[in-house]
Amino acid sequence: MPRYALKVEYHGGPFAGWQRQSGQPSVQEAVETALRRLEPDAPGIAAAGRTDAGVHATGQVAHCDLAKDWDPFRLSEALNFHLKPAPVAVLTAARVPDDFHARFSAVERRYLFRLIARRAPLTHDAGLAWRVLNPLDADAMRRGAAHLVGHHDFTTFRSTLCQSKSPSKTLDEITIDECANPQGREYRFHLRARSFLHNQVRSIVGTLERVGAGSWAPDAVKAALDARDRAACGPVCPPDGLYLTGVGYRDDPFA
């Protein structure tokens, strides 16, 4: 059966997450339902990351096996037709080798978290960013974030429900951009790693927000990391501002 990689974009608000769940809407189910409109016997699909409820994606990658030898452009067009009106879109499709796996072939994942500081509730960005009331100290957050880059035991920053065999991960990059937004002062957290623990990004951003607000000193982030204790983590921020923006492979299937 020919194998195809799909680059998928979605608004996570209406979904209980990527993964198919009994009795709850999921992005996986939406894409599989569209595939089975094309081929009723199409098997299930696999994705690079199982995003949580409310988390968005601009560069999720999934793979599927189909009986027909589809032109990739026609496949993406047909899927987008059958995905309507769900807030899910296939940005592009590509034929890939049979041993390509969206999850296990990935060598890098990239996330963005959007945080907007303003007094008024969000309107246009409601559900797409985390709102806090007061501006943050971006330089202090950068100093705190520097303690997290590299290979560490991230027990403090993983969910108690995390199923990963080890809490040790290598965080390759955290950058924090501050920009003027017509809706308020916006802070964008960019994180890059081969893989992430469950709730790791939201735990890190929630902790760094406490640094930016002046409630934590930047060095307190290192103390929390070294504690290897979930209780030492700052508040876990909501999923609204989190986006899976890209997945890296040694051979880019969409090049």
Q: Whole-prediction pTM value?
A: 0.95
Choose, from 52, 99, 177, 251, the residue flagged as catalytic: 52
Q: What pLDDT, on a 0 to 100 scale, did the predictor assign at position 83?
A: 98
Q: How far apart are CA 240 and CA 127, in angstroms?
A: 5
Give the total residue count for the chain.
Answer: 255
Cβ atoms of 109 and 195 within 8 Å: the answer is yes
* Structure confidence by residue, pLDDT tens digits, 189-241: 999 999 999 999 999 999 999 999 999 999 999 999 999 999 999 999 999 99
Kindly list the structural domains of the chain, giving each domain's residue range(s) and its CATH number in brackets, ordered by start: 3-104 (3.30.70.580), 107-246 (3.30.70.660)
**DSSP run (H or E) holding 34:** helix 27-38
Identity of residue 90: V
Angle at which helix 72-83 crosses helix 27-38, to 10 degrees, equals 120
- Is 90 exceeded by the pLDDT of residue 138? yes
Q: What is the mean pLDDT of residues 181-191?
A: 89
Predicted pLDDT of residue 240 = 93
The DSSP secondary-structure symbol of 232 reads G
Please confirm, yes or no, whether 52 is among the known catalytic residues. Answer: yes
Mention every residue, 6+ apart, whose C-beta is less than 8 A from residue 152.
Answer: 168, 169, 170, 171, 225
- What is the structure's pLDDT at 162? 84
Q: What are the tens digits of pLDDT across the range 7-50?
A: 999 999 999 999 999 899 999 999 999 999 999 999 999 999 99
Q: How confident is the model at residue 5 (pLDDT cuts 50, 70, 90)?
A: very high
At 86 the pLDDT is 97
